Structure 1
Amino acid sequence: MQLASSGINAPIPPASWRSGFSFDIPLQFNGSTAIYLAPAGQTTKVAITSDWPHPGFTGAFLPETRDITDGGFTAEWVIPYLARGLPKFLETTILPLQSTMMGVKFVEPVDFYQTISRSLKYAIGFFSLTFMAVFMLEMGSSWQFHWIQYGLVGLALVVFYVMLLALAEHIGYTRAYLAAACAATALNAAYVGSSLKSWMAGAVMLTVLASIYAVLYALMREQDYALLIGSIIAFVALAITMFATQRIDWSGQRQKAADPRSAAA
């Protein structure tokens, strides 16, 4: 096989490739996200040992044996030349094994981009819980909350995600989440309390939003049971809202019945 001059090359004497040979090249990779290998040998045997605990095996061939622990992983591949679909000898100027590569990706299980993307999937439930809390506070107050004010509260929740992404690129996810959550919570709590003319409403809103953000953070750090926990929380919140608003006169019939002018008519 004749390859281009790029990469690592070494001449092989005829006596060596006729009788078989082995070689060892120590390489150090910095900042690599994956390693791919081409099964160019008649029988290709590959063994990889790494201290990365989250491998993602990919390619045309999966390892025959693998062991994954918290301290890293080991994996071994054995590929006979019949599995490659190529003749034993081939003269070409390009590597003909692009479609039969094998390798491993060094997966980052929870980086802040993935975490923010996951948190957006809970945005509808997160917004709904916030609006439910505002609505229940409005029902218990003598002041009304206009639909434009609901929209402003929603915009503050949207800005939370923008701040989270912008700050996470500079100060890390945890501190960015804390800063963005505190800002959005304080803003909405102060706005709801001042709009309803009640410091109690503001304190309740502060508690509700702080709890929601704390639960959302816990869900983002949980990988195995995030969906289950999120669905249970949504069900419990909906059940509380349903029974807490059970005494509200939605149609206004009770008010009409209690009005003496309507009774006289």
Structure 2
Amino acid sequence: MSTVCLLGVGRMGGPMCGNLVRAGHEVRAFDVLPERREAVLSSGAQWPGSAVAAARGADVLLTVLPGPAEVAEAIDDSVLEALAPGAVWIDMSSNTPSAAAPCRERAAAHGVGFLEAPIGGSPGDAAAGRLRLFVGGEAALLDRHRTVLSAVADRVTHLGGFGTGYTAKLLVNLLWFGQAAATAEALLLGDRAGIDLGVLTEVLAESPASTAFIRRDLPALLAGDYLASFGLDHIRDQLAAVTALAAQFGTPHAIADTVRRLHEEALEHYGPADGELLAVALLEAKAGTLLRHPVQPPV
């Protein structure tokens, strides 16, 4: 069992904290929001009061933070120096290859190994230990720490070297947000053309056009849930990172640019609100129509 320093105990890190404790690891957690202390203590983890105190003597450092800026702010030399000799830093945040590169180099300068393992899944998946991890880094280092990762995830995929895990997560997000927008446009058009939304969604779910979004996430939208589990500003940043990567590698990205611009417009309209489907809300506003389950008339 490992001594784990967990930095970030919000929607995802909070449930993960409890799972790590139940798996038998000694967990020392910290978050910049002090109101999260009681939930950490009630899960059986320790709250030492600072990131440095939480890291002192730990052999695994986990960061579960919203994005690159939060990771860079949370981890400085004093945190890395406090870790046990031969420790590993596993960044599970929604980071980017370019932003994480200096973090990895700083870790190496302190003799700390580094793995990227951004998370796929919802807070409910985190509570159930059903997360998916997209891992980039040395395979041998991953193998040595699978016990820790298996406490929070049931699918751990090694993508390759540094940058591949972050990139895979960004691509998954690009396609999901793109599918959500394309599905919303199709439903708005179908509704305007007089097709019953219930019938249309059933047709799409059983057709070659079906996606995981249609089968799993569309019911939430049709119930009026815009999935307030991630900030629109962070979504915009991730989509911008995808188009920057495409420009760097010289691959076409016209569709990715369209998805990015839509979310930038939604951010301008709604501000940095939580809502993974707020771009769909913007499309609804433009159409003057809400995509909702049809209300059955009274008998």
**TM value normalised by structure 1:** 0.28
**TM value normalised by structure 2:** 0.25
> Higher RCO, 1 or 2 (CA under 8 Å, sep at least 6)?
1
CA radius of gyration, larger in: 1
